[in-house]
Structure 1
């Protein structure tokens, strides 16, 4: 397992191809297969692009009308692609485009007939597993206290105690976080926890802050 004394390296499939191209041709291979996806994209598809390509160029004349949020990477773990960072990041193989969130509806959670996604199925429409729901950038709520409701356990594929770990990350308890396995994780591993969090916490940022504290303190 990963520890302060053991570092783990990783490669993407595109990087393996690039290394092979470097040895066989002597040239740095910068072409990547990039996915254009999201409900605002007129024709979702896979395209060839260079590393660090401009997201503005990739989506030019490709979107439906309306305000859109362009993300370099996935909607779970990417960054908002606006100037001056409107480019693919080093490991991004996807451009995601979502509608900008609409103004908050007053006490919308009291209306069970709203057509919105809910992990806890508080809306009737979310109970239909075969129905597609339009997602946007809206958080559908404001920050609040963290209450364990079992939603983290339902989506966590790793053999860890997610609720206890997430609490430790939020309060920067690095000793407990290490004991619960934070050294084996990166931001992407906690992206789903952020997505289903009714408290609206960014667990990827909390994890990175704890990892930097651990590195600094030795």
Structure 2
């Protein structure tokens, strides 16, 4: 039995360069890099040193504030560099990967008969707990606090996002093992959303409450699923897990191995052959990007993640821990003379003032990173509400974060939001305000002051 969730408010940004449904095996990366900055609010404490040999699944560091939460190596090999910043802050751990991979053996687990404590211990020991996030605060979940429900979005509506129906194909056994295990960690339900007209492997699973979602982006965001099914109130906690990470969790439970393999979409208008690649978390992206038509001398931006909420990486950078798409689009460092005072046909806009994208709703655009304007104070236009489907006032909650009114932030619904929920309002913002950064800082303040 499924429940339909139809979103009317939102915006589909159709871009050129969607990945074709063809898979290539990426050239094996020589190194793998894990960055503690991918795990927000975690204070890392090293468990390895330079020159040490590690297996895939062996702990590299753990959370200083909760030592049971470990972060493990995606590959086997030798630790060749531990980069540090100011005050000896750990920036990254680089591993020289072995040609023949060896794995830490955690042992297979019979999920149907396993106790919740055994499942939790296995996820913590293997590093798979890093895939379990919580709201409030959008950080790695506290294993000592039971959630009232668990939410999984199996539908990607972001521009150029990887097609989860395709990337999860053939992984039904791993998916079932993962959701059955997660269902034992909560007294509530495991809510799973899929595209209404899709063919998701998640739709046939047991131990879940299925929701068919439709409508424009952000219909695929897990925040939308939470808001429309079981919103988070003060004192409550929910967990979220990305659909792509269920496969890694399921394989760990079935085989005892932490296999960080991931199907990654290489997409964007600067990519001549957009397609999918089989690689591992933390792998070098240069082998995928520059071997598939991206001009090395081109003026492009490489993004680990989607174009709305991903983060920019350098050409010699690495795939971050949670991304399953690498987006490459033109760098927007050029300026149009009188660009504000002439008709615009090649850009997406929710306004009809000299813009005409609303006339061609199915047209695909080749957009760059130019913000087309400068930073200024908030201008009240009502455009945020047009693309924000949550039952929250976006302008008011952003302002409350800026002037740090904790009581107002609580009352307006900060407990259930994450930065990605404000990616579209940031896109349409005529004031060019960094909405996602504002929300992130607001959540950090609440975590520090309220906990």
Matching of residue 172 in structure 1 with residue 423 in structure 2: no
Q: How does 1:170-209 map to 2 (within 5 A)?
A: 170-209=402-441
Query: Residues 94-133 of structure 1: matches in 2 within 5 Å?
Result: 94-113=325-344, 115-128=346-359, 129-133=361-365
Between the two proteins, the alignment pairs up a number of residues equal to 217
TM-score norm. by structure 2 comes to: 0.46
Q: Would the aligned equivalents of 1:33 and 1:93 in 2 still touch at CA under 8 Å?
A: yes
Distance 1:51 1:73 in 2: 13
Greater percentage in helix = 1
Task: Report SS of the residue matched to 2:397.
Answer: helix
The correspondence for 1:67, drawn from 299, 320, 330, is 299
1:92 aligned onto 2:326: no
Secondary structure of the residue aligned to 1:189 is: helix
**1:117 touches 1:123 (CA, 8 Å); kept in 2?**
no
Query: Secondary structure of 2:326's partner?
Result: strand
Structure 2 equivalent of residue 211 of structure 1: 443
Q: Per-residue deviation at 1:114?
A: 5.3
Q: Are the aligned partners of 1:55 and 1:72 in contact in 2 as well (CA < 8 Å)? A: no
TM-score using structure 1 length? 0.91
Q: Distance in 1 between matches of 2:378 and 2:240?
A: 33
Q: Which 4+ stretches in 1 moved above 6 angstroms?
A: none
Other-structure match for 1:41? 271
Q: In the TM superposition, what is the alpha-carbon distance from 1:123 to its structure 2 partner?
A: 3.0
The answer as to whether partners of 1:170 and 1:203 remain within 8 angstroms in 2 is no
Contact 2:377 2:431 in 1 (8 A): yes
User: Matched residues in 1 for 2:362 and 2:240: separation?
Assistant: 36
Please tell me whether the aligned partners of residues 55 and 81 of structure 1 are also in contact (alpha carbons under 8 angstroms): no
User: Quick one: distance in 1 between partners of 2:428 and 2:344?
Assistant: 20
Unaligned runs of at least 5 residues, structure 1:
none
Q: Bigger radius of gyration, 1 or 2? A: 2
Does the alignment pair 1:163 with 2:395? yes
**Offset, 1:79:** 0.6
SS at match of 2:438: helix
CA–CA distance in structure 1, aligned partners of residues 382 and 257 of structure 2: 50
- Partners of 1:114 and 1:30 lie apart in 2 by 43
Higher relative contact order (CA 8 A, sep 6+): 2
The alpha carbon displacement at 1:43 in A equals 1.7
Is contact 2:234-2:410 (8 Å) kept? no
Give 1:177 deviation, angstroms. Answer: 1.8
- d(CA) in 2 for partners of 1:116 and 1:215? 38
- Whose strand fraction is larger, Structure 1's or Structure 2's? 2
* CA spacing shift, 1:211–1:102, aligned 2, 3 Å: closer
Choose from 221, 245, 260 the match for 1:30: 260
C-alpha distance in structure 1 between counterparts of 2:318 and 2:344, whole Å: 39
Q: Distance in 1 between matches of 2:437 and 2:393?
A: 19
Deviations 1:89-147 (A, max 9, x none): 11111101110114222331111245332221333432322333320011101001211
| Aligned pairs (5 A) from 1:117-156 | 117-128=348-359, 129-156=361-388
Q: Separation in 2 of the partners of 1:52 and 1:122?
A: 44
CA contact (8 A) 2:261 2:279 kept: yes
Output the aligned Cα RMSD: 1.9
CA contact (8 A) 2:285 2:315 kept: no
